[in-house]
Amino acid sequence: MDKYRQISELMKGFQQNGQAFFPATVESVEGNTCTVVADGLSISDVRLKPTTEDTDNAFLMTPEIASDVLVGSISGDYSNLFIVYANSYSDIRLNVDEISFKLDKNGIIINDGENGGSVKIKELVEWMKKVYNDLQALKNQLQSHPVSGNGAPLALIFNSSTPNPNQSTFEDEKVKH
């Protein structure tokens, strides 16, 4: 019996209302498709999403190799197989217009990571408070011990306008980690 006939026979046992869903194990991943093993039968070109539509706005969850998956076919035949669910994923990608998001074992990358890591806001605010306090101390010292330069006391030239920093000044509330 050829491979496609074997796949059809396998799917007959799982068909209901013209649709088929069956368990399998991921053998390999090739871009937007994967190869799975079901009942000892290796099945290639199983899509990672239900449609073949190639769009910039997409959500793609890539199952880990050796993870258990549920394979589905809306038409009930082997030409339209796709992963419905996996018990373990290697990465998750989401693109919506100009916004991209990738999550994998290395971390989270938003919009290609061109701006580096997210700000650790608590540490930044603590550092900025120290800078603010240092500037205030310098201002106080200059006001109590004026130094002349260019004919005018330096205390009159130095006028700090740095406000006391707070978390909302530096935090992008749309991105948290």
Name residue 86's beta-bridge partners.
Answer: 69
Distance between first and last Cα of the chain? 54
**At residue 3, does pLDDT exceed 80?**
no
**At residue 47, does pLDDT exceed 90?**
yes
**Cα(49)–Cα(32) distance, integer angstroms:** 8
Greater confidence (109 vs 144) lies with 109
The residues spanned by each domain of the chain are 3-113, 121-170
pLDDT-derived band at 142, boundaries 50, 70, 90: confident
Q: What is the mean pLDDT of residues 87-96?
A: 95
pLDDT in tens, 53-87: 777 788 999 999 999 999 998 777 777 899 999 99
pLDDT of residue 117: 78
Q: What kind of fold does domain 3-113 have according to CATH?
A: SH3 type barrels. (2.30.30)
Secondary structure of residue 34 in the 3-state scheme: strand
Greater confidence (73 vs 27) lies with 27
Specify the amino acid at residue 121: I
